[in-house]
Amino acid sequence: MAYASLIEDDIPLMALDGSHVGRRKPSSEWRFHRDLYASRPEVGAVLHAHSPFAVSLACLRLDIPPFHYMIARFGGDTIRCAEYSIFGSESLSTVAMAAMAGRRACLLANHGMLVAGRDLDEALALAIELEELCEQYWRACQLGQPVLLSAEEMAAVLEKFSSYGQQ
């Protein structure tokens, strides 16, 4: 459905057991949404998108390496790319959960991106940031091989991010 034409009744309500109520079926990707909510109590919003640069990199089936320190915003020294599994499948949720372990985002091979935030505002901000990083990495690769931050440099960034923005 076109997002602009959606009304409240078009969005089904789902329980963690997979049951739903409403006049429409849930998205075919409901499983990885459910599995993130069920396994990660800090997650209050899950966002999945097929944005152009994330999809482009996901089609390469490579993790995004530590070419920029903001990779750490997503919980580690890389943004992982989940193995390929067909859309809407339980196996896609399984590989997505593996790629999301200890992370706030991943790419889904030949598919798109997945992010998890504490609320909708944070999930959207993370998705925008991930798409920007995907574009920056893509652009840097056009000029050559990006210089990657070392494990020690990323560890220092992750340590700084552990209290970043907190009073």
Active-site residue set: 29
State the residue for tokens 């034409």.
5
Pinpoint the alpha helices (H) of the chain: 30-39, 52-58, 90-100, 120-143, 151-161
Phi, psi of 101, rounded to the nearest 5 degrees: -55, 120
* DSSP assigned state of 64: B
Edge to edge, what strands does the sheet with 105-108 contain? 45-49, 112-117, 105-108, 81-82
CB atoms within 10 A of CB 19: 10
For 2, residues 6+ apart whose C-beta sits below 8 A from its C-beta are: none
Residue ranges of the alpha helices (H) in 16-81? 30-39, 52-58
